[in-house]
Amino acid sequence: MAFSSVPSQIGPFRVCDVLCTTLAGALVRVEDVQGGGRQTLMLLDPDEAGWPARLRQQHRLSSHPRLCRLAPGGPGRLEGADRAYYYVGTEPLCGWTVLDEVAREGRIAPLERAVRLGAEAAEALAHAHQQGLAHGHLEPGCLFIQTYAEEDEGHIKLLGVGLQVVARPASRAARYRPWPGPVARSHRARFAQDVAALGGVLSYMITGQVPDHRDPARALQAACTPPALMEVVLRAMSTAPRRRFASAAALHQALLEVDLSPPAGRPRAPSLWQPRQRAQA
């Protein structure tokens, strides 16, 4: 059973942000109220019978640089106000999600950076699929932009793989509706659904708008998206088996090779190719 909510404090930790809620628990950023240090924890529901297997899966996946690494060893135990939690520490997550940056800046810019981050997400997704694990609820809040220095443009950490993400905080859910993609009736279809969902996230990163399932090309056209890139994004979002990419690995390769030349006869749209200027305080 998924966590219906995460308390504001668990043991010595104050919960600062809930990144995602899963069938096995939740991924949260916390602050130690005694020492003041911040870290990211994976909370586990001790009543959910499948969490030991999912934890083993996470340890196996976390060797990939685009997936969140777990601390070695078994889970610890924390006492909340009304229940107990198991937890596992993760590598430090310093940065913000794609959802947060689009809300703050309007889109991911410049365009080369959006494409690079999308390719990194596709690379992480391809690795998970090779291990037999689908994401199942891929959306911008699951793409964390990890930064290591002030001038660093960041690299993707894909959150929630193998944990069966089922919910998000209301503040996040109100800002993005995941791209539906094909109906997942089989294991292979779940992989296709992940690729379609990542296509929707790519469109959101480029345009700053939640993609419209009735006309997904409209926002991309309005943003003067280069034709080759628009073709890649629309292929990823397609629900037609013959049209969409066969795998996340194929999408990753397409993003690495895509031509970002602007449409013939039209200059590059400055808003796409340059970071937005932040308002002065």
The 10 Å Cβ neighbour count of residue 225 is: 25
Q: How confident is the model at residue 85 (pLDDT cuts 50, 70, 90)?
A: confident
Q: How confident is the model at residue 87 (pLDDT cuts 50, 70, 90)?
A: confident
135 and 250 in a single domain? The answer is yes
Instruction: Report if residue 235 sits inside a domain.
Output: yes
User: Would you say 58 and 42 are in contact if contact means Cβ atoms under 8 Å apart?
Assistant: yes
What's the pLDDT score for residue 263?
A: 64
Q: How confident is the model at residue 150 (pLDDT cuts 50, 70, 90)?
A: low
What's the pLDDT score for residue 18?
A: 81
Instruction: Report if residue 281 sits inside a domain.
Output: no
> What SS3 state is found at 193?
helix
Q: What is the CATH number of the domain that holds 223?
A: 1.10.510.10
Domain boundary among 67, 89, 111: 89
217 and 168 in a single domain? The answer is yes
139 and 239 in a single domain? The answer is yes
Domain boundary among 44, 61, 89: 89
Q: How confident is the model at residue 266 (pLDDT cuts 50, 70, 90)?
A: low
Nearest Cα neighbor of 143 from 90, 211, 93, 105 is 93
Q: What is the CATH number of the domain that holds 78?
A: 3.30.200.20
State the average pLDDT over residues 173-178. Answer: 57
174 and 268 in a single domain? The answer is yes
> pLDDT tens-digit profile of 1-45?
445 577 888 888 888 888 776 655 678 888 988 877 888 888 877
Least confident of 5-9, 93-97, 124-128, 153-157: 5-9
CA angle 4, 121, 141 (to 5 degrees): 30
113 and 246 in a single domain? The answer is yes
73 and 192 in a single domain? The answer is no
Instruction: Report if residue 280 sits inside a domain.
Output: no
What's the pLDDT score for residue 157?
A: 92
What's the pLDDT score for residue 180?
A: 59
59 and 102 in a single domain? The answer is no
State the average pLDDT over residues 44-56. Answer: 68
State the average pLDDT over residues 244-248. Answer: 93
Q: How confident is the model at residue 163 (pLDDT cuts 50, 70, 90)?
A: low
Domain count, the chain: 2
Mean pLDDT score of the chain, rounded to an integer? Answer: 80
Domain that holds residue 16: 9-89
Contacts with 38 (C-beta within 8 Å, 6 or more apart), sequence order: 16, 29, 30, 31, 32
Instruction: Report if residue 25 sits inside a domain.
Output: yes
100 and 161 in a single domain? The answer is yes
143, β-bridge pairs:
158
184 and 202 in a single domain? The answer is yes
Domain boundary among 89, 109, 128: 89
Please state, in angstroms and rounded to a whole number, the distance separating the CA atoms of residues 6 and 206: 32
